[in-house]
Chains A and B, each alone.
Chain A
Amino acid sequence: MLLSSDTFRNLCRARELLGASPEQCLSVKHIAHQVAISPYHFIRQFEAVFGITPHQFRIQSRLDQAKLLLAKGDLSVTEVCMQIGFSSLGTFSDLCARRFGSPPSLYKRRARAMVQVPGNYPQELFPGCLSLMGCLPAAAFRNFQEASPLSLR
């Protein structure tokens, strides 16, 4: 599929709108309208470009925000849930459990335990360019060959 420049720009703008604050939360259909693409095509094209549907993208960006807020530690789980635009604590809790592998309360406790200086985020939350390598114990390098599938040796 070849995207025209206009469609590309519109999809980028739609991504912006989807990630916007919950106060200006528009429905996926509404956003499709705003960027002048039919809802069906919008969902299909968005997924082909970003690898995720608009609705899932919105959830993902809210959960990303939640991670930061939980790690920061100033807000309670309920406050974080409201701030990122979820109206149900149950849904929020469920989503966290599925995506981060632990419910928000536990995630918060773990993240807070990693925080050294108040207000700083734990580095574990943000692997940067090649920082994963930096965290490897020296022994891991010797195990690279063993870790790789047999067919690739």
Chain B
Amino acid sequence: MRIKLTSLMVDDQDKAVKFYTDMLGFRKKHEIPMGAYKWLTVVSPEGPADIELSLEPNANPAAKTFQKAMFDQKIPLAAFEVSNIEKEYERLAALGVVFTTKPMQAGPVTIAVLSDTCGNLIQLYQPAR
């Protein structure tokens, strides 16, 4: 059993793929049209290459409710590892990405939280060296 696929709900897949590629720097892996929606996944160019993140529509009202409640409570729905969090913070903030938490020490890691413009808060973390 392997973990090769994980997913995030987004309010608009086109907007999401732009944010996750242009801003965060991921690469689109699959984009398969499925009616009104798409099977849409991205991978990180920094690897591992075979772990995909699926950006799924949050069209289900239950999904919207969950997502909104988590957002309002400032709870991130995913966390991505970075090697230099200060640098990433500077880079993304300069691109206009909104952060709700500036890089801060949280136990053994340094974390920061940003809004992905698709209804989620995303945590970045840098493990202690």
Contact = CB atoms under 8 A, between A and B. Distances in A.
A128 interface: yes
A127 B119 contact: no
Interface in A98-116: 100-101
A15 B115 CA distance: 14
Interface of A: 1-3, 5, 8, 12, 15, 45, 48-52, 64, 68, 100-101, 124-130, 132-133, 135-136, 140, 144, 147-149, 152
A2 B102 contact: yes
Contacts of B98: 1-3, 45, 48-49
Interface residues of B, number: 44
Contact of A129 (B28, B37, B39, B56): B56
B93 A2 contact: yes
Contact of B60 (A48, A127, A152): A127
A118 B34 CA distance: 25
Main secondary structure of the interface of A (DSSP, over half): helix
Nearest to B115: A49
Given A50-B119, A132-B39, A3 B60 contact: no
B100 A128 contact: no
Contacts of B31: 147
Contacts of A140: 32
13 contacts: A1-B93, A2-B93, A2-B98, A2-B99, A5-B100, A51-B12, A51-B19, A100-B36, A124-B35, A129-B7, A132-B37, A132-B38, A133-B39
B57 A144 contact: no
Interface in B41-64: 43, 54, 56-57, 59-64
Given A48-B117, A135-B34, A129 B63 contact: yes
